[in-house]
Amino acid sequence: MPSISYDHRAITVDGERILLLSGAIHYPRSTPGMWGSLMERSQEAGLNAIETYVFWNLHERQRRVYDFSDRLDLRRFLQTAQQLGLYVILRIGPYICAETNYGGLPAWLRDVPGIQMRTDNEPFLREMENWVRLLCDYVRPYFASNGGPIILAQIENEYGNIAWRYGEAGERYLRRIVEMAQSLQVGVPWVMCKGGAPGVIETINAFYAHPLLDDYFAQYPDKPALWTEHWPGWYDLWGYPHNRRTPENVAYAAARFFAAGGTGMNYYMWHGGTNFDREGSFLQTTSYDYDAPLDEYGLPTTKMYHLARLHRILQEYASVLVHSERAKPEPLQANASAYTYEHAGRSLVFLCNDGEQEIQVSYEGRRYHLPPQSVTLIGDGQMLMNTAQVEPRDVVVRRMEPCEPNLSSFQWWAEPPPDEARDALHPPVLSDKPVEQLPFTHDETDYCWYLTKLMILPHQAGAGTLELQGVADVVHLMVDGKFVATTEPPLPENRNLDDPESFTQRFELTLSAGEHTLAILCCALGLIKGDWMLGERNMVDERKGFWGRLVWRGEPLEVPWRIYAGLSGEHCRLYAEGGALVDWKSSIETARGKPLCWWKTAFERPKTNAPLVLDLQGMSKGIAWLNGRCIGRYWLAVGTGKPEGWLLQAVYPEGEGLPTQRYYHLPAEWLREHNVLVLFEEVGGDPTQVRLCYRG
């Protein structure tokens, strides 16, 4: 069996150094039928490894009930990689961030008495160790030490983001989990990214890794430089424009890393895929496209073809790179340097322009034009490519094209608001004050109702502001059965539980004197992925629903509440077999624009083999199902939010003023000859505008 180790320059397999070119493909964000083509295209693009996180939150949704089926069939995913001769980097975590719900931790952890996440806390360490040991036993045949493809394993993730908060307790936690990992004897090196501990290789996360390498090698002179996350784009948030990064800039960052002495790089993401079901973390769009080299549907992009040119060069000169010592920069002029690697009579030179202006340089008797932020690669004296120059043949333009057949006429069923008649089937929680929803919903639904009676006195009547102080995430308000207000996007990605304004929402209403029924439907948008999203509070403090004060025109209202978890349509599985139990209505005009409405349509399987997409133009916000399987949340929120400034070092916004996400992936494996599509629309939409498309 191969022996995996490392020295100061590279990962070694049976003592031979290798150059790692890896791409992240998350198995739950695609379907098993896609895995083969995703990996084949990755290999064709010059990658020799695949990286994936392991999603504890999906494998153990209920405590001690494990699921490794379908999209969660990790062994099948590993087998696919092995059959193609690809290495695997397995990032076990089990905290993974990854823009997945609760950062990869199961929501039920919140209910474990005395728990604190990701610190020296016995309840957390006990649950974490139980999962990690079970998982490692499950995949043990696939570690390289047993003849499998896994050559690196990661424990924890990005602890450097929170280490300062936990101090000595955090250091004890890291030591304990490293000791636990080493006791598993998996036979491959352990890594940690962006924060490490003795006994593991600390790796890098960044848009640009080369500026970090001097400090890295000074701190770790006996370890190779591994870039676990090279971000070729960025994720999207509801209510914000798309984040894009140019192929030229990604190629520059990659080439620049290898010039500066790196020998292992993983694109995060290489294929982003889809946050199916309710699996995205707070505010994440259902698409996890990430502007990756393989798009959400697994199709090649300009970025993939451009990077493939670079990868082919790096692979051809891999032995030169890994068998040379780290090159020292040879200054050419301001912001420009040459890095030379030589071995066995061959050479690879990187001419790097890190400046913002194009320049002309002389190198070994030749003149070279260096565009801004670019690398020119010269192999054995011949210019091979410049990262800023995309070949015309590599340019790919894709569109969404209308697809036959058409959807059948929609039918509808109105979601009833909770009332006493429903109490016998799904009894409410009765409370003198609001209580956040997760103790009732257990994150098995986005939805929770809060009902009360308001007595508006004459001096309180008229127009005013209704404040919900302590509420998350999206709120729909109904007064006397009438939909009167909803939360407007964009929402901030990071909020502060210790700042009341972060979780306060205000709505302008008019209330007459007398008694009114107030119904608040709270809609979660995924759980947080880290402490910083709550103002550095521990993740256990995550909250959804309504837990604070109700204030009308500046006066707090103390009223009793009835709290209902979930929707009637969810309880009866209206999106699946329960759809046969209700009387669907056909009068579309009656329900067009109606809030809290279920819509159903059907279509025959299209003839095309191209990826199938649902165009939800005309709808507002809700959840969609195909043949009983949840496609994901949808929200046609317009991209008006502003990206964080630090992102602009590498990415740029696109699609400002357009819906953040309009198109939704319908996986081929979920299709039948006769298909049923169900939408739950929260705010009100026009389903006659919904269309099937294919990705052309």
Count other Cβ atoms within 10 Å, centred on residue 34.
22
Contacts of 294 (CB under 8 A, 6+ apart): 23, 25, 38, 41, 42, 270, 271, 300, 301, 304
Beta-ladder partners of 549: 469
Q: Which two tokens stand for residue 295?
A: 């798009």
CA–centroid distance for 309 within its chain: 28
Tokens 């970090």 belong to: 212
- Alpha carbons 198 and 219: distance in angstroms, whole number: 12
What single-letter DSSP state applies at residue 575? Answer: T
Beta-ladder partners of 80: none
Among positive and negative, which fits the CA dihedral 144, 147, 149, 155?
negative
Contacts of 137 (CB under 8 A, 6+ apart): none
Please report, for residues 112, 121, 155, 163, 198, the alpha-carbon distance to residue 172 in angstroms, rounded to integers and kept in the order given: 21, 10, 15, 11, 12
* Per annotation, catalytic residue among 51, 60, 158, 570: 158
One-letter amino acid at 261 equals G
What single-letter DSSP state applies at residue 469? Answer: E
What single-letter DSSP state applies at residue 211? Answer: G
Exposed, middle or buried: residue 323 (CB in 10 Å: 0-12, 13-18, 19+)? middle
Ramachandran region, residue 82 (left: φ > 0; alpha: ψ -120 to 50; beta: rest): alpha
Active-site residue flag, 16: no
Active-site residue flag, 158: yes
- Alpha carbons 427 and 341: distance in angstroms, whole number: 71
Instruction: Give the chain's length.
Output: 696
* Per annotation, catalytic residue among 60, 229, 279, 436: 229
Query: In 158-181, which positions are buried (b, 16+ CB within 10 angstroms) versus exposed (e)?
Result: bbeebbeebeeebeebbeebbeeb
Among positive and negative, which fits the CA dihedral 527, 531, 533, 537?
positive
- Alpha carbons 13 and 468: distance in angstroms, whole number: 59
Beta-ladder partners of 663: 615
- Alpha carbons 440 and 563: distance in angstroms, whole number: 9
Ordered DSSP codes for 52-107 = EE--HHHHTSBTTB---SGGG-HHHHHHHHHHTT-EEEEEEES---TTBGGGG--G
Among positive and negative, which fits the CA dihedral 374, 377, 382, 385?
negative
- Alpha carbons 632 and 624: distance in angstroms, whole number: 6
Name the strand (E) or helix (H) holding 309: helix 302-316
Count other Cβ atoms within 10 Å, centred on residue 234.
20
Active site residues: 158, 229
